[in-house]
């Protein structure tokens, strides 16, 4: 049975890819590595939602790192002019390295379900990493199932975030004020 590492950015985006992957004869491990997610309360909340899903399906979940937004806060100063490319390379790069280290055959990401991400760039980076680590990248286009996955997340009662993850995407969100109110509420509960 092929061993696959599915990098997951959150629960809602994992719904549809998992449905599709579980139809195949695969041993799936879910991998949460998303240092871009800001602030830490949001990182924790997205991880909790993903864990609900992996518990539901009885899948192994590996959690790596934490919220580490400094690189994203400093991306211009660091000369990283393409912020999302840096973000994809960081997360997929770590996923590929872990998949290779754990002796897995393939890796892919739930980023491949989102119509808001650059699928072609993700595919290119994934294939470059596959060559580097001598494993397979699965360039599945899950985007036709994005709405299905979001509906499944709603039925499962999962929190569905209103911004991509980094501080800049938060600041640019049209739901910015509501997000900050929600985050203040989370902090007050701790």
CB of 33 to ligand SF4, least distance (A): 13
Gap between the Cα atoms of 149 and 129, Å rounded = 27
Gap between the Cα atoms of 8 and 77, Å rounded = 28
Is the Cβ of residue 36 or residue 104 nearer to ligand SF4 in the bound state?
36
Is the Cβ of residue 9 or residue 30 nearer to ligand SF4 in the bound state?
9
Is the Cβ of residue 3 or residue 83 nearer to ligand SF4 in the bound state?
83
CB of 36 to ligand SF4, least distance (A): 4
Q: Please report where in the chains the tokens 């739901």 appear, as a residue.
A: 175
Gap between the Cα atoms of 167 and 15, Å rounded = 25
Is the Cβ of residue 94 or residue 169 nearer to ligand SF4 in the bound state?
169
CB of 166 to ligand SF4, least distance (A): 3
- Which regions of 18-135 does DSSP assign to beta strands (E)? 26-32, 60-63, 106-109
CB of 134 to ligand SF4, least distance (A): 26
- Which regions of 12-160 does DSSP assign to beta strands (E)? 26-32, 60-63, 106-109, 136-137
Applying CB under 6 A, the residues found at the interface with ligand SF4 are 36, 83-84, 87, 164-166, 168-169
CB of 169 to ligand SF4, least distance (A): 4
Residues 18 and 53: beta-carbon distance below 8 Å: yes
Is the Cβ of residue 29 or residue 36 nearer to ligand SF4 in the bound state?
36
Q: β-strand 60-63 against 26-32: which pairing, if any?
A: parallel
């Amino acid at each position: 049975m092929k061993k696959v590492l599915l990098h997951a950015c959150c629960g809602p985006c994992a719904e549809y890819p998992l449905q599709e992957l579980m139809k195949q004869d695969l041993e799936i491990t879910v991998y949460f590595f998303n240092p871009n997610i800001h602030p830490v309360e949001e990182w924790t909340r997205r991880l909790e939602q993903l864990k609900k899903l992996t518990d539901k399906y009885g899948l192994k979940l590996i959690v790596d790192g934490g919220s580490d937004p400094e690189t994203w806060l400093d991306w211009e100063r660091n000369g990283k002019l393409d912020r999302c490319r840096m973000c994809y390379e960081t997360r997929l790069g770590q996923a590929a390295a872990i998949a290779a280290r754990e002796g897995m055959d393939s890796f892919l990401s739930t980023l491949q379900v989102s119509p808001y991400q650059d699928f072609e760039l993700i595919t290119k980076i994934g294939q470059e990493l596959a060559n580097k680590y001598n494993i397979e990248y699965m360039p599945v286009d899950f985007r036709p199932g994005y709405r299905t996955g979001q509906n499944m997340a709603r039925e499962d009662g999962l929190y569905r975030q209103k911004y991509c993850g980094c501080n800049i995407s938060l600041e640019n969100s049209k739901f910015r004020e509501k997000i900050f109110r929600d985050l203040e509420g989370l902090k007050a509960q701790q």
